Chain A
Amino acid sequence: AQKITQTQPGMFVQEKEAVTLDCTYDTSDQSYGLFWYKQPSSGEMIFLIYQGSYDEQNATEGRYSLNFQKARKSANLVISASQLGDSAMYFCAMREGHYGQNFVFGPGTRLSVLP
């Protein structure tokens, strides 16, 4: 079974609008971390935001926020005030266990910001 599911292969958003990228995960561990990465056309993977399984508040980093719903096992990324430079692939990832070494990545969502 897929551990990380991203059901939106592609998304379009108008510049300056907000957009939500979906991510659901599957784990039986109580301790885990959830991450979002951005991959522009250059290929480099850029870390955006982190949410720990015990964090009670949703993580925020500038225009990025993570809508963490633990009971639903979802960790959606919200980008506010989209910019043309936000056009990229976005990957959700999970690290399982308190001493987990491995990261599991979802298939990604391609976001296109329209002028």
Chain B
Amino acid sequence: SQTIHQWPATLVQPVGSPLSLECTVEGTSNPNLYWYRQAAGRGLQLLFYSVGIGQISSEVPQNLSASRPQDRQFILSSKKLLLSDSGFYLCAWTAGLAGGTDTQYFGPGTRLTVL
């Protein structure tokens, strides 16, 4: 069966510090991968998605970036964090199937607080 991991689970960082959040998927090949951010009490905002190694699409211009160095690894980064980067970051994957029930499955999330 497939599993998705995220780490760290929680993170407290000062403004201006760098960020690296990691997401890995097991039990599947060539998944589509997604990064979302959720502000407290709000819905999900899609940040990046990737359909393959080195292929990244950005949905929201900001000081975050994403990379996919391996098939089942997705990394969210920042060179300098802002207060507004605080939130709950969720990684998700799909099998990348056309049509059908290409369901999105989520990791446990990383709660980031920027002080």
Residues on A close to B: CB < 8 A? Answer: 31, 33, 35, 37, 42-47, 50, 52, 91, 93, 95, 98-99, 101-103, 105-108
Contact in complex: A107, B43 (CB < 8 Å) = yes
Contact in complex: A108, B43 (CB < 8 Å) = yes
Interface size class of B (residues with CB under 8 A): 20 to 34
User: B88 to chain A: which residues have CB within 8 Å?
Assistant: 43
User: A33 to chain B: which residues have CB within 8 Å?
Assistant: 100-102
Residues on B close to A: CB < 8 A? Answer: 32, 34, 42-44, 46, 49, 51, 57, 59, 88, 90, 92, 96, 98-109, 111
Contact in complex: B42, A44 (CB < 8 Å) = no
- Name the contact of B103 in the complex, choosing from A35, A44, A108 (C-beta under 8 A): A35
- Name the contact of A44 in the complex, choosing from B49, B96, B101, B109 (C-beta under 8 A): B109
User: B102 to chain A: which residues have CB within 8 Å?
Assistant: 33, 95
CB pairs A–B below 8 angstroms (7 shown): A35-B103, A44-B108, A45-B106, A45-B109, A91-B44, A102-B49, A107-B42
